[in-house]
Structure 1
Amino acid sequence: MTAPATVEDLLRLHAPQVLGALVRRYGHFDDAEEAVQESLLAAADRWPRDGVPANPRGWLIRVASRRLMDALRSEAARSRRERAAVRLAPREVRAAPADDDTLTLLFLCCDPALPPPARVALTLRAVGGLTTAEIARAHLVPEATIAQRISRAKAKLRDHPFQPPGPQDRDSRLASVLQVLYLIFNEGYTATSGPALHRAELAREAIRLTRAVRRLLPREGAVTGLLALMLLTEARSAARTGPDGELVPLAEQDRSRWDRAAIAEGTALVEESLGEGPPGPYPLQAAIAALHDEATGPDTTDWPQILALYDVLVARSPEGDPMAELGRVVALSMVEGPGAGLTALTALEPGFPHTHRLAAVRAHLLERTGDRKAAAEAYRAAARTTLTLPERRYLQTRAARLDP
């Protein structure tokens, strides 16, 4: 993985590793998380001024450990933690590799004792480093709901042992682990807010962790498919923005800038994942991404095959996947025309109450029908609800071009 270029990148990379190390050594998940946040604030203040230490992870662990021990010994906690303060020596003296700690933390947060929504929210917070607001936007739910889920999850895990799960327990947590990794990757590939479209450090970290999970489970089709999907999607990242950071849609991208090595690896993994049992959502999405990446341009894209894959993907999503259904609408419009896409889009409106994506797709389809005024209005409606500046500028530009 490319070395992080900034202090912010370093802190995001090491935060889950440091939290994992503290929870492994001392327990007290909730207090350990607060201590890690304090160490990150200290680093953000000191490193730009004094320089990044030779061992950033070790520096953060030392500072966070001191803050945690101070908290455990504090007067307010003395009555209920006296015995814990006596046993402040680490439970394990071995220095676990960073990957071990992060991976164990990942599976700990996905404990089956927690409700699935709580597992995902806690893991995105502890391992992915996402804010509560970012997690809420990814799930299309209010921020207060996510905050409550995280708080309850941390309370339930307070006394759970920090150890790698056994094979059976690991399997029971795998679906949540993969869901979290995919959400982390998506936040990196297309940020839900802020001045940049792409948060490269998040996307890289998601790929790194998915590779680590695959080393644990090399013959698991879902893991292989997810890694393939990430590689095939991230391969286009260099062409997604212009010189001023503006968004460049897929149809207009310079495909010579796509990462051909990543595409080759991802395509090979797609074939491998499809041979590891009935394909689930990740191998199917990876197969769709491979068809896009292998095409020389929009006119040579195999849209009928993409539509067929989306049909299977939607049929195998029992609880419904709004983004898969939206992707199917786009593929349908490319096969049967924009009118068919607009008809199918109307049925999806209840599933997109808090996102700009449905309005953006409607605008694109209206533009293809030649209804410039309605398309411009839809582009403006989408621009009002997106929180990412490059997407907002792109949507506003499309609207202005159609309806000056």
Structure 2
Amino acid sequence: MSDVQEALTRAHREEWARVVATLAKRFGSLDTAEEAAAEAFATAAERWPRVGIPPNPGAWLTTTATRKAIDRIRRESSRDARHREAELLYGTKTEPLGAIDDDRLRLVFICCHPALAMGARVALTLRMVGGLTVTEIASAFLAQDTAIGARITRAKAKIAAAGIPYRVPAADDLPRRVSGVLAVLLLIFNEGYLATGPDTAPVRGELTAEAIRLTRLLHQLLPDDAEVTGMLGLMLLTDSRRSARVSSQGALVPLAEQDRRLWDAALISEGHALVRERLASGIPPGRYQLLAAINAVHTDGDATEWTQVVALYDQLIRLDASPIVRLNRAIAVSERDGAEAGLALVDELGSDLVDYHAYHAARAKLLRRLGRDAASREAYDAAIKLATNTAEVAYLRAQREQRD
């Protein structure tokens, strides 16, 4: 690792929280503080290799972040925080409504321009439209705050340099952008369903409701898009369990222990109808359709049929073999074939998911089932250290303290 990389790593570890706290106290906004700090670290990553590490890196970062925050506040002082920022970013006023007549959905499509890399589209839109903080976006990407801040900054710079217009896409251009739009809507939904902020409620109903609202509009706009239908079904079936997910003591309630009488029957019925609609088409399902089908199995009857869930994950993994999908499949295998079979699959993912709390939580549960209590407690400790959702932390602590 170079001296500059070491300095940046050390600065992130030692200075990030202090810089954010300093700016939040001065400007009264955690969002402004986090974004300004992320932009300062991104500037350092670009500048320090060229001009050298400053004598006092912490002071340099604080000063730079303060200037970034002041610039942001000046820009936002006379306009709506999200929509007007986008107008300034693209350098022109929005054109007539065109195919989309909902302001927020229009802005999602506008930000998901195909000239930007998918990760940049999603991060930029989550920040500008979803209103998520840099820290919340970083959690969704399993990345560091500074990396996401830099990604957003680069996306804005590319928009400005390339002269990408702030323009509503025409109807025939919508399908080219829909994959990015779906990714954004799902991440907004997930942040509401299992909030990552330690100072927020464990479930943020305003975010899940907005994500569902926008997805319904998208389904009306593109009724023949199978993945849009799948996404809506996925959200409805997932949200149907929301009332049963957190106990009166504020702890997360896992699926197997939830009171199914608290589930929303209307949402389940609607979600199942959407899943059946797609299955009846005879067209091989995509990623979101398969995820919706998995949730349909979870909400069908009095208990989950794990053989069906594993079979659906086997299909999904052919489309998306990401470590998180493989982890979820491993958990399903453990329910079908036993803890030992599941643990073997989970352990294969250690190098990819070492910083992901759910990996350690899954290991802890399986180790407990196998009677390996000391190892289970260590895994619970790792999961608790990495988890940020308050209800999830409460659940993990309770599990960790269970007597052998």
Provide closer, same or farther for how the CA distance between residues 173 and 32 of structure 1 changes in structure 2, counting only shifts above 3 A. Answer: farther
Normalised by the length of structure 2, the TM-score is 0.75
> In the TM superposition, what are the counterparts of 1:5-404 in structure 2 within 5 Å?
38=77, 61=80, 100-158=102-160, 159-194=163-198, 195-276=200-281, 277-297=283-303, 301-317=304-320, 320-402=321-403
**Matched residue, 1:51:** none
- Unaligned runs of 5+ residues in structure 2 are 1-30, 32-69
3-state SS in 2 of match to 1:157: helix
Query: Could you list the per-position Cα deviations for residues 59-78 of structure 1 after superposition, in whole angstroms to 9, with x for gaps in the alignment?
Result: x759997x999x99xxxxxx
Counterpart CA distance in 1 for 2:370 and 2:86 is 61
User: Partner amino acid for 2:190?
Assistant: N
3-state SS in 1 of match to 2:102: helix
Counterpart CA distance in 2 for 1:63 and 1:354 is 32
3-state SS in 2 of match to 1:150: helix
RMSD: 3.1
Query: Could you list the per-position Cα deviations for residues 312-349 of structure 1 after superposition, in whole angstroms to 9, with x for gaps in the alignment?
Result: 101111xx322211110011111111000011111111
- Unaligned runs of 5+ residues in structure 1 are 1-11, 13-30, 40-59, 73-83
Q: Quick check: 150-159 or 394-403, which moved more? A: 150-159
Query: Could you list the per-position Cα deviations for residues 121-140 of structure 1 after superposition, in whole angstroms to 9, with x for gaps in the alignment?
Result: 10111111111111111111
3-state SS in 2 of match to 1:117: helix
Q: CA deviation at 1:295?
A: 2.7
Tell me the matched-pair count.
Answer: 331
User: Partner amino acid for 2:178?
Assistant: L
User: Partner amino acid for 2:216?
Assistant: R
Provide closer, same or farther for how the CA distance between residues 332 and 243 of structure 1 changes in structure 2, counting only shifts above 3 A. Answer: same
Provide closer, same or farther for how the CA distance between residues 150 and 63 of structure 1 changes in structure 2, counting only shifts above 3 A. Answer: closer
Runs of at least 4 residues off by over 4 Å: 31-39, 60-65, 94-99
3-state SS in 2 of match to 1:226: helix
Normalised by the length of structure 1, the TM-score is 0.75
Provide closer, same or farther for how the CA distance between residues 168 and 98 of structure 1 changes in structure 2, counting only shifts above 3 A. Answer: closer
Provide closer, same or farther for how the CA distance between residues 207 and 388 of structure 1 changes in structure 2, counting only shifts above 3 A. Answer: same
Q: CA deviation at 1:286?
A: 0.5
**Matched residue, 1:52:** none
Counterpart CA distance in 1 for 2:232 and 2:256 is 24
Q: Is the 8 A contact 1:303 1:331 kept in 2?
A: yes
Query: Could you list the per-position Cα deviations for residues 80-111 of structure 1 after superposition, in whole angstroms to 9, with x for gaps in the alignment?
Result: xxxx9xxx9x776x899995221221111110
Counterpart CA distance in 1 for 2:94 and 2:194 is 40
Q: Is the 8 A contact 2:86 2:128 kept in 1?
A: no
**Matched residue, 1:22:** none
Q: Is the 8 A contact 2:138 2:148 kept in 1?
A: yes
Q: Is the 8 A contact 2:99 2:171 kept in 1?
A: no
Q: Is the 8 A contact 1:362 1:378 kept in 2?
A: yes
Provide closer, same or farther for how the CA distance between residues 259 and 62 of structure 1 changes in structure 2, counting only shifts above 3 A. Answer: closer
Counterpart CA distance in 2 for 1:274 and 1:36 is 49
Counterpart CA distance in 2 for 1:180 and 1:345 is 28
User: Partner amino acid for 2:226?
Assistant: G
Q: Is the 8 A contact 1:36 1:64 kept in 2?
A: no
Q: CA deviation at 1:361?
A: 0.3
User: Partner amino acid for 2:302?
Assistant: T
Query: Could you list the per-position Cα deviations for residues 355-382 of structure 1 after superposition, in whole angstroms to 9, with x for gaps in the alignment?
Result: 1110000111112222233222221221
Q: CA deviation at 1:115?
A: 1.2
